């Protein structure tokens, strides 16, 4: 199936080692792990398996670069210029980076090219422009004093990211950290380390000093856990599951690290009968099936008002019949494989559970082919709020459709989850739209659109979906400490 296995079509895998203090080095243990192409199940490369000792070396290099290197002290405008250069180098390699991303993750190349890589570049540029705009306040206090605040970099930051948007998550983490003058120890996801490693080299080529960015590929509890516990690291920025965040929070207590979390979701996507129906169906389809359903903000609970429900089910079914699932490197492909066997099995388990608990599987529900982790785009109708497929994050191409008949009812049911990452509303009624936007307990509410992301727009979760916000001007806050200076006059 996948043309990518043909020699000559493979992108170069230039880096598979740990990146510490500007150099490529083996893991101290000498161990490696396989990164696998989810479309073919073939091994792409053996990657250094970093662990505690490697994290310690990276943290020492990052600490040294922070305390004694030029990065945090250089003119912020120069920091910005190096970041622009880094973004330019990424842009020059856009095609190669997109191929590498699709090979390692399985996502369709047309998505990597159109979304992942350009959005990552845009994010680095956004924060390059912000580097020289980080400023404090002058504070009118009582008495004869001059009081002001300075915003200083938080120090060495540990960053732990998932596999669903490897490059983009790297950019979301590096952008604000670099702009603020922090130094970095990054732990990419074990499923998808390759593009993050390539980005580290491009950052070096752009002139970002050695030790500012360090990357330790490896597994969560070992390499990730070591970042959380290392006393040289001041902060952890984590994106992943809430259960992992709970472990991180507990393990970070010893060193009282600053923590920001962007976690999962079970986002309600609410379609009123008065919406532009075709736009709403397309938005609901995109909002769930984009990226093989592997989005923390996926609109996985689609609430459809009674009177348009049957029409919705028919139209979504038609769209799924035409959906092209297969080789990520075929530019016509709309849906690739899930990232790995563990995710594939988990999703198939949810599909079984949905059937068992009495929901109607109206489209899909099966594996595609017998090689690679492909799953048919799947829709469950007549889902009730208490079913597992309405409560738990599936992280796959599985849509749950729920009927509703009333505004207050759908607000209550939409909010009836411990998550609060995103929500969407489809209606032509402006009053209803703003009312819903105010009432839905989520960090992002999209109105008549879905998955609209921009480096300038803050993103993060209410409730168990996270702590803090990434992106936007205030995305820098999590990478700075505020210092109050008071001068007697």
Q: Which residues are catalytic?
A: 262, 296
Those residues whose C-beta lies under 8 Å from the C-beta of residue 307, and which sit 6 or more positions away, are: 273
φ, ψ of residue 125 to 5 degrees: the values are -65, -40
Closest residue by Cα to residue 159 from 100, 241, 214: 214
Contact residues for ligand ADP, defined by CB under 6 A: 160-162, 187, 189-190, 219-221, 224-225, 228, 240-241, 244, 247-248
Asked if residues 38 and 372 have their Cβ atoms less than 8 Å apart, the reply is: yes
Distance, in Å, from the CA atom of 376 to the CA atom of 337, rounded to the nearest integer, reads 10
Under a CB-based contact definition with an 8 Å cutoff, are residues 419 and 267 in contact? yes
Longest CA–CA span in the chain (Å) reads 77
Residue of this chain nearest to ligand ADP (CB atom): 220
Q: CA 450 to CA 462: how far, in whole Å? A: 18
C-alpha–C-alpha distance, residues 30 and 106, integer Å: 28
Tokens 């899930």 correspond to 338
Give the C-alpha separation, 40 to 9, whole Å.
14
How many beta carbons lie within 10 A of that of residue 58, not counting itself? 34
Q: Going by DSSP bridges, is the β-strand pair 466-467/183-187 parallel, antiparallel, or unpaired?
A: unpaired
Q: What is the CA radius of gyration of the chain?
A: 23
CB 197 within 8 A of CB 86: no
For residue 430, count CB atoms less than 10 angstroms from its CB and return exposed for 0-12, middle for 13-18, buried for 19 or more.
exposed
Beta bridge partners of 145: 488
The helix (H) or strand (E) run that includes residue 205 is: helix 194-206
Cβ atoms of residues 168 and 119 within 8 Å? yes
| Residue 164 DSSP code | S
Residue 308 CB, shortest distance to ligand ADP, in Å, is 34
Instruction: Burial-class residue 101 by CB neighbours within 10 Å (0-12, 13-18, 19+).
Output: buried
Angle in degrees, CA 381, 384, 385, rounded to 5: 130
- Give the nearer residue to ligand ADP in terms of CB position, either 414 or 468: 468
Of 142, 449, 95, 421, nearest to 271 (Cα)?
449
Distance from C-alpha of 367 to C-alpha of 377, rounded to nearest angstrom: 10
Decide the pairing of beta strands 235-239 and 156-160. parallel
């Amino acid at each position: 199936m996948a043309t990518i296995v043909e020699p000559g079509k493979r992108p170069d895998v230039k880096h598979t080692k740990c990146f510490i203090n500007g150099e490529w080095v083996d893991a101290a243990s000498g161990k490696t792990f396989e990164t696998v192409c989810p479309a073919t199940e073939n091994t792409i490369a053996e990657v250094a398996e970093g662990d505690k000792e490697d994290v310690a070396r990276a943290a020492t290099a990052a600490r040294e670069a922070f305390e004694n290197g030029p990065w945090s002290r250089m003119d912020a405008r120069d920091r910005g210029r190096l970041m622009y250069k880094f973004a330019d180098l990424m842009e020059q390699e856009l095609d190669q980076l997109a191929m590498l991303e699709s090979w390692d993750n399985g996502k369709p190349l047309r998505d990597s090219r159109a979304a992942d890589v350009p959005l990552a570049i845009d994010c680095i540029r956004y924060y390059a422009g912000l580097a020289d705009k980080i400023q404090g306040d002058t504070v009118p206090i009582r008495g004869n004093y001059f009081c002001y605040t300075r915003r200083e970099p938080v120090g060495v930051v540990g960053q732990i990211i998932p596999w669903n948007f490897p490059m983009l998550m790297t950019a979301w983490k590096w952008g604000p950290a670099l702009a603020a003058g922090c130094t970095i120890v990054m732990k990419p996801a074990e499923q998808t380390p390759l593009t993050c490693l390539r980005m580290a080299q491009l950052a070096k080529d752009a002139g970002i000093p050695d030790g500012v960015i360090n990357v330790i590929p490896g597994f969560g509890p070992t390499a990730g856990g070591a970042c959380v516990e290392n006393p040289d690291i001041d902060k952890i920025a984590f994106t992943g599951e809430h259960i992992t965040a709970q472990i991180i929070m507990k393990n970070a207590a010893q060193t009282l690290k600053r923590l920001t979390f962007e976690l999962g979701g079970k986002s309600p996507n609410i379609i009123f009968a008065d919406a532009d129906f075709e736009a709403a169906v397309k938005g609901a389809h995109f909002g769930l099936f984009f990226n093989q359903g592997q989005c923390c903000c996926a609109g996985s609970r689609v609430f459809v008002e009674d009177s348009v429900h049957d029409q919705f089910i028919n139209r979504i079914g038609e769209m799924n019949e035409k959906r092209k699932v297969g080789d990520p490197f075929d530019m016509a492909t709309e849906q690739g494989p899930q990232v790995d066997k563990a995710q594939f099995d988990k999703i198939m388990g949810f599909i079984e559970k949905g059937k068992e608990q009495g929901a109607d599987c109206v489209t899909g529900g099966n594996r595609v082919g017998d090689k690679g982790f492909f799953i048919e785009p799947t829709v469950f109708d007549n889902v009730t709020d208490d079913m597992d497929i309405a409560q738990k994050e599936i992280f796959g191409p599985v849509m749950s459709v729920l009927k509703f008949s009333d505004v207050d009812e759908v607000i209550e049911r939409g909010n009836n989850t411990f998550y609060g990452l995103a929500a969407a509303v489809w209606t032509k009624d402006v009053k209803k739209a703003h009312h819903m936007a105010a009432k839905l307990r989520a960090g992002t509410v999209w109105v008549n659109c879905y998955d609209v992301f921009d480096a300038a727009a803050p993103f993060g979760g209410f409730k168990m979906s996270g702590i803090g916000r990434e992106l936007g001007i205030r995305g820098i806050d999590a990478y700075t400490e505020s210092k109050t200076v008071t001068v007697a006059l």
